Amino acid sequence: MSLTIFEQLTTLLNDHHATYRVMEHPTAGRSEEVAKIRGTQLGQGAKGLVCHIKGNGVKQHVLAILPADKQADLTKLAHQIGGTRASLASPKEVDDLTQCVFGAIPPFSFHPALKLVADPLLFARFDELAFNAGTLERSIILNTQDYKRIAQPELISFIRDEENE
C-alpha cells in the first residue's frame, strides 16, 4: 500500500526533526478563507503552482512555491528556468505529478519529474509557513527554516511586480 501525500509529508518532517503542527479544518476554497481558519497571515501561506515550462529546448514541469498573498509572473518563471514560456499544468498533469487536487498541493515535490522552486520572499517575512497537506481539510504549519532545509527548493524570483498589475 502506498502512503498518502499527508503520510509522506509527516514522515519526511518527522525524519528531519522539523518543528510543525497539523490542523484539521473545514474545506476552504480560497487562500484568504483558509488563512482565517488557520489563524495565520495570508502571506504565510505557501501557494503551489504546477507549471509547464517550454521553449529553448526546455520541457520541464515545475512546482513553483510563492506566498499566498502574491501572484506569479509565469514569463519571469520560464525565463529563470531557461525556457521562453510557462503555463499552468492541466488538472490531469497536476494529479499525475502531485496526487493532489488543485489547492491541496503541499510545497514539496515527491515526483522525480517535478522540479521544486520557491520565490525567496517566501523565506523573508514569517517564521512559519502554512499549507494544505495533500487534502483540503488538513493543513501543516511548519517552521520556515525547516521547510527550506528539508525541501531544498531552488530559489528563483518570479513574483509579479505589483506596479505592473
Distance (Å, whole) CA 57 – CA 35: 39
For the entire predicted model, the pTM comes to 0.95
Q: What is the pLDDT of residues 123-150, one digit of tens each?
A: 999 999 999 999 999 999 999 999 999 9
The predicted-structure confidence for 87-127, as pLDDT tens digits, reads as follows: 999 999 999 999 998 889 999 999 999 999 999 999 999 99
The pLDDT assigned to 165 comes to 46
The answer to whether 110 and 97 have CB atoms below 8 angstroms apart is: no
Alpha helix locations (H) across 39-143?
74-81, 91-98
Rounded to whole angstroms, the Cα distance separating 156 from 153 reads 9
**Residue 42's pLDDT band (boundaries 50, 70, 90)?**
very high
Which residue do the cell numbers 488538472 mark?
91
- Average confidence (pLDDT) over 151-161: 97
Give the length of the chain.
165
